[in-house]
Amino acid sequence: MESMKKTFYTFSTLALILTFIVGCAPQAKVEAPEASYDPEAKLEALQITLPAPPQPVANYVNGVRAGNLIFLAGKGPKRADGSEITGKLGQDVSIEEGYEGARLTAINQLSVLKEMLGDLKKVKRIVKVLGMVNSDSSFVDQPKVVNGFSDLMVEVFGDRGRHARAAVGMASLPRGQAVEIELVVEVYP
Protein backbone atom coordinates (compact mmCIF):
# COMPACT_ATOMS: atom_id res chain seq x y z
CA MET A 1 0.00 0.00 0.00
CA GLU A 2 2.84 2.39 0.88
CA SER A 3 4.48 1.86 -2.54
CA MET A 4 1.18 2.63 -4.28
CA LYS A 5 0.96 5.91 -2.35
CA LYS A 6 4.52 6.82 -3.42
CA THR A 7 3.71 5.99 -7.05
CA PHE A 8 0.52 8.06 -6.88
CA TYR A 9 2.37 11.04 -5.39
CA THR A 10 5.14 10.72 -7.98
CA PHE A 11 2.62 10.73 -10.85
CA SER A 12 0.68 13.60 -9.27
CA THR A 13 3.86 15.63 -8.90
CA LEU A 14 4.84 14.92 -12.50
CA ALA A 15 1.38 15.89 -13.70
CA LEU A 16 1.58 19.20 -11.79
CA ILE A 17 5.03 19.93 -13.20
CA LEU A 18 3.88 19.18 -16.76
CA THR A 19 0.78 21.30 -16.31
CA PHE A 20 2.97 24.17 -15.10
CA ILE A 21 5.41 23.78 -18.01
CA VAL A 22 2.67 23.62 -20.63
CA GLY A 23 0.87 26.56 -19.07
CA CYS A 24 4.06 28.68 -19.13
CA ALA A 25 5.11 27.71 -22.65
CA PRO A 26 4.47 30.36 -25.28
CA GLN A 27 1.30 29.53 -27.14
CA ALA A 28 1.43 29.33 -30.91
CA LYS A 29 -0.47 32.30 -32.19
CA VAL A 30 -2.82 31.84 -35.08
CA GLU A 31 -1.77 34.13 -37.88
CA ALA A 32 -4.34 36.16 -39.72
CA PRO A 33 -4.23 39.34 -41.74
CA GLU A 34 -5.26 42.58 -40.07
CA ALA A 35 -8.77 43.80 -40.80
CA SER A 36 -7.60 46.62 -43.09
CA TYR A 37 -5.83 44.20 -45.46
CA ASP A 38 -8.09 43.71 -48.49
CA PRO A 39 -6.38 42.97 -51.84
CA GLU A 40 -9.71 42.43 -53.58
CA ALA A 41 -10.84 45.95 -52.62
CA LYS A 42 -7.56 47.21 -54.12
CA LEU A 43 -8.37 45.40 -57.36
CA GLU A 44 -11.81 46.96 -57.39
CA ALA A 45 -10.30 50.42 -56.80
CA LEU A 46 -7.95 49.78 -59.75
CA GLN A 47 -11.02 48.76 -61.80
CA ILE A 48 -9.57 45.29 -62.40
CA THR A 49 -11.95 42.38 -62.75
CA LEU A 50 -10.28 39.00 -62.53
CA PRO A 51 -11.03 36.76 -65.53
CA ALA A 52 -11.51 33.02 -65.37
CA PRO A 53 -8.03 31.55 -64.83
CA PRO A 54 -6.28 30.46 -68.03
CA GLN A 55 -6.22 26.68 -68.22
CA PRO A 56 -2.95 24.75 -68.58
CA VAL A 57 -1.98 24.08 -72.19
CA ALA A 58 -0.11 20.83 -71.46
CA ASN A 59 0.28 18.16 -68.75
CA TYR A 60 0.57 20.34 -65.62
CA VAL A 61 -1.61 22.24 -63.14
CA ASN A 62 -1.94 25.98 -62.54
CA GLY A 63 -0.57 25.77 -59.02
CA VAL A 64 0.60 23.42 -56.31
CA ARG A 65 0.33 24.10 -52.58
CA ALA A 66 3.06 22.73 -50.33
CA GLY A 67 2.44 23.72 -46.71
CA ASN A 68 2.06 27.50 -46.61
CA LEU A 69 3.61 28.02 -50.05
CA ILE A 70 1.89 28.03 -53.42
CA PHE A 71 3.99 27.50 -56.54
CA LEU A 72 2.22 28.93 -59.57
CA ALA A 73 3.02 27.62 -63.04
CA GLY A 74 4.12 30.10 -65.67
CA LYS A 75 1.37 32.15 -67.28
CA GLY A 76 1.48 34.63 -70.12
CA PRO A 77 -0.36 37.73 -71.29
CA LYS A 78 -3.61 36.11 -72.38
CA ARG A 79 -6.56 38.45 -72.75
CA ALA A 80 -10.11 37.53 -71.73
CA ASP A 81 -10.98 36.94 -75.41
CA GLY A 82 -8.22 34.30 -75.66
CA SER A 83 -5.78 36.39 -77.70
CA GLU A 84 -2.26 36.93 -76.42
CA ILE A 85 0.37 39.63 -76.55
CA THR A 86 3.02 38.01 -78.73
CA GLY A 87 6.33 38.98 -80.26
CA LYS A 88 9.90 39.74 -79.30
CA LEU A 89 11.02 42.63 -77.16
CA GLY A 90 13.63 44.61 -79.02
CA GLN A 91 12.12 43.62 -82.37
CA ASP A 92 8.38 44.05 -82.71
CA VAL A 93 7.22 44.66 -79.11
CA SER A 94 8.04 47.90 -77.25
CA ILE A 95 9.01 48.07 -73.59
CA GLU A 96 5.63 49.70 -72.88
CA GLU A 97 3.76 46.86 -74.63
CA GLY A 98 5.87 44.31 -72.77
CA TYR A 99 5.12 46.08 -69.48
CA GLU A 100 1.38 45.86 -70.23
CA GLY A 101 1.84 42.19 -71.11
CA ALA A 102 3.51 41.55 -67.75
CA ARG A 103 0.70 43.42 -65.98
CA LEU A 104 -1.88 41.30 -67.81
CA THR A 105 0.07 38.21 -66.75
CA ALA A 106 -0.16 39.41 -63.14
CA ILE A 107 -3.93 39.67 -63.46
CA ASN A 108 -4.05 36.11 -64.82
CA GLN A 109 -1.92 34.83 -61.94
CA LEU A 110 -4.16 36.64 -59.44
CA SER A 111 -7.15 34.85 -60.96
CA VAL A 112 -5.39 31.52 -60.37
CA LEU A 113 -4.66 32.48 -56.76
CA LYS A 114 -8.25 33.58 -56.21
CA GLU A 115 -9.51 30.26 -57.56
CA MET A 116 -7.09 28.28 -55.37
CA LEU A 117 -7.66 30.27 -52.17
CA GLY A 118 -11.19 31.60 -52.49
CA ASP A 119 -10.07 34.95 -51.05
CA LEU A 120 -6.92 36.95 -51.79
CA LYS A 121 -6.80 38.01 -48.11
CA LYS A 122 -5.19 34.61 -47.55
CA VAL A 123 -2.05 35.80 -49.38
CA LYS A 124 0.57 36.54 -46.75
CA ARG A 125 3.36 37.52 -49.13
CA ILE A 126 4.50 37.33 -52.72
CA VAL A 127 7.83 35.57 -52.20
CA LYS A 128 9.56 35.00 -55.55
CA VAL A 129 8.89 35.92 -59.17
CA LEU A 130 10.58 34.55 -62.28
CA GLY A 131 9.89 36.76 -65.29
CA MET A 132 10.83 35.41 -68.70
CA VAL A 133 10.84 37.86 -71.59
CA ASN A 134 10.79 36.80 -75.25
CA SER A 135 13.80 38.89 -76.30
CA ASP A 136 15.88 39.76 -79.29
CA SER A 137 19.52 38.85 -78.54
CA SER A 138 20.43 42.55 -78.15
CA PHE A 139 17.53 43.41 -75.80
CA VAL A 140 18.71 44.08 -72.23
CA ASP A 141 15.73 45.78 -70.54
CA GLN A 142 13.92 42.69 -69.24
CA PRO A 143 13.59 44.24 -65.75
CA LYS A 144 11.63 47.18 -67.18
CA VAL A 145 9.20 44.73 -68.78
CA VAL A 146 8.73 42.53 -65.69
CA ASN A 147 8.09 45.68 -63.63
CA GLY A 148 4.58 45.50 -65.12
CA PHE A 149 4.05 42.39 -63.00
CA SER A 150 5.90 43.58 -59.90
CA ASP A 151 4.25 47.00 -59.84
CA LEU A 152 0.78 45.45 -59.84
CA MET A 153 1.70 43.02 -57.04
CA VAL A 154 2.76 45.99 -54.88
CA GLU A 155 -0.36 47.99 -55.83
CA VAL A 156 -2.60 45.08 -54.80
CA PHE A 157 -0.74 43.68 -51.77
CA GLY A 158 1.27 46.69 -50.54
CA ASP A 159 4.56 45.71 -48.90
CA ARG A 160 3.41 42.07 -48.95
CA GLY A 161 3.69 42.31 -52.74
CA ARG A 162 7.42 43.16 -52.68
CA HIS A 163 9.30 40.06 -53.74
CA ALA A 164 12.60 38.56 -54.79
CA ARG A 165 12.76 38.42 -58.57
CA ALA A 166 14.62 37.37 -61.68
CA ALA A 167 13.88 38.97 -65.06
CA VAL A 168 15.59 37.08 -67.86
CA GLY A 169 15.58 37.03 -71.63
CA MET A 170 14.52 33.96 -73.60
CA ALA A 171 15.12 33.13 -77.26
CA SER A 172 11.45 32.13 -77.53
CA LEU A 173 8.41 31.40 -75.39
CA PRO A 174 5.41 29.12 -76.00
CA ARG A 175 3.08 30.35 -78.76
CA GLY A 176 5.37 33.35 -79.24
CA GLN A 177 4.02 35.10 -76.14
CA ALA A 178 5.95 38.22 -75.14
CA VAL A 179 6.34 37.25 -71.47
CA GLU A 180 5.80 34.31 -69.15
CA ILE A 181 5.90 34.66 -65.38
CA GLU A 182 5.81 32.16 -62.54
CA LEU A 183 5.80 32.87 -58.83
CA VAL A 184 5.89 31.54 -55.29
CA VAL A 185 3.33 32.85 -52.77
CA GLU A 186 3.19 32.41 -49.00
CA VAL A 187 -0.33 32.05 -47.62
CA TYR A 188 -1.85 32.17 -44.15
CA PRO A 189 -2.40 28.72 -42.59
Whether residue 6 lies inside any domain: the answer is no
Q: How many independent structural domains does the chain possess?
A: 1
What's the confidence (pLDDT) of residue 31?
A: 73
Alpha-carbon distance of 123 to 118, in angstroms, equals: 11
Nearest to 160 by CA among 105, 101, 113, 116: 113
For residue 15, pLDDT beyond 70: no
What's the rounded mean pLDDT across residues 4-18? 50
Alpha-carbon distance of 14 to 20, in angstroms, equals: 10
What's the confidence (pLDDT) of residue 4?
A: 47
Segment 55-113, tens digit of pLDDT: 898 999 999 999 999 999 999 999 989 999 999 999 999 999 999 999 999 999 999 99
CATH of the domain at 152: 3.30.1330.40
Whether residue 13 lies inside any domain: the answer is no
Residues found in the chain: 189
Whether residue 20 lies inside any domain: the answer is no
Residue 111 DSSP SS3: helix
Is the Cβ–Cβ distance between 129 and 83 less than 8 Å? no
Residue 33: pLDDT band (50, 70, 90) is confident
Give residue 158's domain range.
Answer: 39-187
Whether residue 139 lies inside any domain: the answer is yes
Residue 17: pLDDT band (50, 70, 90) is low
